[in-house]
Amino acid sequence: MKKIVLIFLVTLFVSLKFSSADEGMWIPLLIEKYNIEDMQKKGFKLSAEDIYSINQDCLKDAVVIFGRGCTGELVSGQGLLLTNHHCGYGAIQQHSSIEHDYLTDGFWAMSKDEELPNPGLTATFLRRIEEVTDKTLAGVTDEMSEEERNEKIRENMKSIQDEAEKDNHYNASVRSFYYGNQYFLFVYEVYKDVRLVGAPPSAIGKFGGDTDNWMWPRHTGDFSVFRIYADKNNQPAEYSPENIPYKPKKYLPISIKGINEGDFTMVLGYPGGTYQYVTSDEIKWIKNISNPNKIELRDIRLDVMNRYMQNNDTIRIKYASKNAGVSNSWKRWKGEIIGLERLNAVEKKMELEYQFRKWAESGHNEYVGLLENFSNVYSELEKYDIAYDYYREAIMAVEIVRFASRFEHLLTLLKTEADREDIEKEITNLQHLMDGFYKDYVPKIDQEIFYQLLPLYYSNVSVEFQPDLAQMNFSGNYKRFVEYLYQNSIFDDQPELKELLTIDKIDELTNLKNDAVFQFYQHFNQVYEAKIKPKRDSLNYITHTLYRSYMKGLMEMQKDKILFPDANFTMRVSYGDVKGSYPRDGIKYQYFTTLDGVMEKDNPEIYDYDVPDRLKEIYQKKDFGRYEVDGTVPVCFLATNHTTGGNSGSPVLDAEGNLIGLNFDRVWEGIMSDMIFDPEQSRNISVDIRYVLFLIDKYAGATHLIDEMAIVE
């Protein structure tokens, strides 16, 4: 085993030739080894130690995981944090009501006493990274079965994590890279008191809405402001009025000097997931089957939501976050199909696979037949993957079904006569969940979505995965059947459920198992758990082991390249430069947009383009202050940094490590970059920090926040 690891590492380190210009999401610990020379050639003025170090304060100490899926950055010595508006959207919505519509009007705390707590929201700092491949693979031998191998690896990982967490308050995680060919330990510190400080109205923070999502030109002020609080010792603590603003090890200076095409840019953040090394079989599945199916199902959900939201402000507020969540992936899947077709991604993957086969047959016998094994497994997977997609997107996408599913654990506890303390705790959890669910739930929307999605499951999923609805009073009319479910479900009656869901009525709670909607969920879930999930998991497990071998083989075959590891929501560095794009023949996009473009798009009749009156007044007066450039204010810019989901809110830094923007999106033409990177079309979109400051200062009048920041002019 040591010999195999050694071969892998030698292959990995042998050359400094990169995959392609600006492609890559690089591990901060290895910047000195792989990237710093190339970065400095491109204009970077700092050292690798300035990015990542455990011996000195560095850029990593100013960047956090914001919540569970975004990135944020510290911009003051008082714990002030910037992230995207869409990352803070859930928190903003939770504080919104008809009386205080912060989604529409924005929110600005004019003192720390006005900052709003957000239970459950966290800011997570990376404290150190350690390469632990040898420790993780200790005791692993070629003679082991895959089950034995994985069990040994899990045992080693737990030991490594336990040791890293011993006698401290840190959280540790060992993560797999290159499909299990390499492992790193990440040690984190989690702060649990994160308060909302400011957010522009959605007409600014979400300007362009779903219409402009993934598109350029873009004019979105996609930012929100939070503050991290700590105890009196600057340590993580649950929310308390006694907590004080966190004093960070490092915060980012902010440059308003301006940017020009060709300027160096760097993004430091937490990209969620990429799939650069998948085979042609996977690309064909995504492009031809999976994405089209999911798009069709979300078309229905969005159509129903949008019709109700357009004419009712209460519903608009209730469904704003849900609609955005459904739409985001829906539009991405569409863009992926277009990009994969434009790049002939399947053919390119097949060309690489042809080369791999020839290389394997030239004396690398352990890889002979590997790609054929892939094709066989993917062929067998297809019907299970289709069933999985429809279960998630047609059945569990129905809100009342998903809500009812959350009661399964309680019923299990009751059935097994678990400790009363555990039952009471679960009841309390469900009471909190119930309050949040009904706050933003409109039954008529959910019911219409339900009866439109259900027949599609039965039309497109293999018969063996179709529960028999006849035993649930199904008369052949899907709409009538859905109405029957609602009429016979306590989950459609908040007062009745609230009255039942108490500690005093534990004996009666067992009757929930007979509820019509819960039984519907059970029928589908039983099929999923018994017939879909086990086989799908087993086949995906096989593909993972095949990818481990394939990845190792690719590295051996392409010894003139360093192949960056796929993103896995660990901190990464990507770098490139400010650059416009040429998306189609005859079209050239410049690298920036301005406030002029916001005003050109203004249309009070369209929600996505209804510019706030105050912003129009400031524009007419030309009251731009020090953020003015050529009679207007810069709004967004393009660069060539390789980003993906999770990079939302990531700081975009200049050559000297100053904050110049907040990453929030990619362009439509390059959206397939999770699977295949196109240096000609892949661009990340960022809100210019000058627009952020302009809005905080001139629009909101929150100059006290500007005073906290270190601004470089």
Q: Supply the DSSP string of 469-527, one letter for each residue.
A: GGGGT--S-HHHHHHHHHHT-GGG-HHHHHHHSSGGGHHHHGGGGG-HHHHHHHHHHHH
Please say if the pLDDT value at position 301 is more than 70. yes
**Residues 234-245, mean pLDDT to the nearest whole number:** 98
Domain membership of residue 557 (yes or no) is no
Indicate whether 657 and 595 sit together in one domain: yes
CB 705 within 8 A of CB 198: yes
Indicate whether 181 and 199 sit together in one domain: no
For the chain, the average pLDDT equals 93
Indicate whether 445 and 400 sit together in one domain: yes
Give residue-wise pLDDT tens across range 478-494: 999 999 999 999 999 99
Indicate whether 251 and 306 sit together in one domain: no
Give residue-wise pLDDT tens across range 628-669: 999 999 999 999 999 999 999 999 999 999 999 999 999 988
Domain membership of residue 558 (yes or no) is no
Indicate whether 530 and 586 sit together in one domain: no
Task: Using alpha carbons, select from 258, 205, 242 the residue that is nearest to residue 84.
Answer: 205
Indicate whether 242 and 295 sit together in one domain: no
Domain membership of residue 127 (yes or no) is no
Domain membership of residue 310 (yes or no) is yes
Dihedral of the alpha carbons of 204, 206, 208, 213, in degrees to the nearest 10: 150
> What per-residue confidence (pLDDT) applies to 686?
98
Please say if the pLDDT value at position 12 is more than 60. no
Percent of the chain scoring above 90 in pLDDT: 82
Taking the C-alpha atoms of residue 237 and residue 259, their distance in angstroms, rounded to an integer, is: 39
User: Which residue among 190, 214, 235 closes a domain?
Assistant: 190
Model confidence at 506, pLDDT cuts 50, 70, 90, reads: confident
Model confidence at 11, pLDDT cuts 50, 70, 90, reads: very low
Domain membership of residue 30 (yes or no) is yes
pTM: 0.85
Please say if the pLDDT value at position 532 is more than 70. yes
Indicate whether 144 and 256 sit together in one domain: no
Taking the C-alpha atoms of residue 142 and residue 480, their distance in angstroms, rounded to an integer, is: 58
The count of domains in the chain is 3
Tokens of 200: 């522009």
Domain membership of residue 22 (yes or no) is yes
Model confidence at 21, pLDDT cuts 50, 70, 90, reads: low
Dihedral of the alpha carbons of 192, 197, 202, 203, in degrees to the nearest 10: -160
User: Which residue among 521, 552, 583 closes a domain?
Assistant: 552
Indicate whether 640 and 694 sit together in one domain: yes
> What per-residue confidence (pLDDT) applies to 9?
39
CB 136 within 8 A of CB 158: no
Indicate whether 371 and 510 sit together in one domain: yes
Note down the domain range covering 186: 137-190
> Which residues are designated catalytic?
86, 222, 648
Domain membership of residue 129 (yes or no) is no
Indicate whether 568 and 495 sit together in one domain: no
Q: Which residues of 25-53 are buried (b: 16+ CB within 10 A; e: fewer)?
A: bbbbbbbeebbbeebeebebebebebbbb
Model confidence at 429, pLDDT cuts 50, 70, 90, reads: confident
Taking the C-alpha atoms of residue 293 and residue 389, their distance in angstroms, rounded to an integer, is: 8
Model confidence at 317, pLDDT cuts 50, 70, 90, reads: confident
**Phi first, then psi: what are they for 97, rounded to 5°?**
-155, 175
> What per-residue confidence (pLDDT) applies to 322?
87
Please say if the pLDDT value at position 533 is more than 70. yes
Task: Using alpha carbons, select from 47, 567, 34, 45 the residue that is nearest to residue 265.
Answer: 45
Query: Residue 213 belongs to a domain with what CATH number?
Result: 2.40.10.120
CB 26 within 8 A of CB 246: no
Please say if the pLDDT value at position 531 is more than 70. yes
CB 568 within 8 A of CB 180: no
**Residues 155-170, mean pLDDT to the nearest whole number:** 98
Please say if the pLDDT value at position 153 is more than 90. yes
User: Which residue among 552, 581, 616 closes a domain?
Assistant: 552
Domain membership of residue 231 (yes or no) is yes
Indicate whether 262 and 290 sit together in one domain: no
Indicate whether 341 and 230 sit together in one domain: no
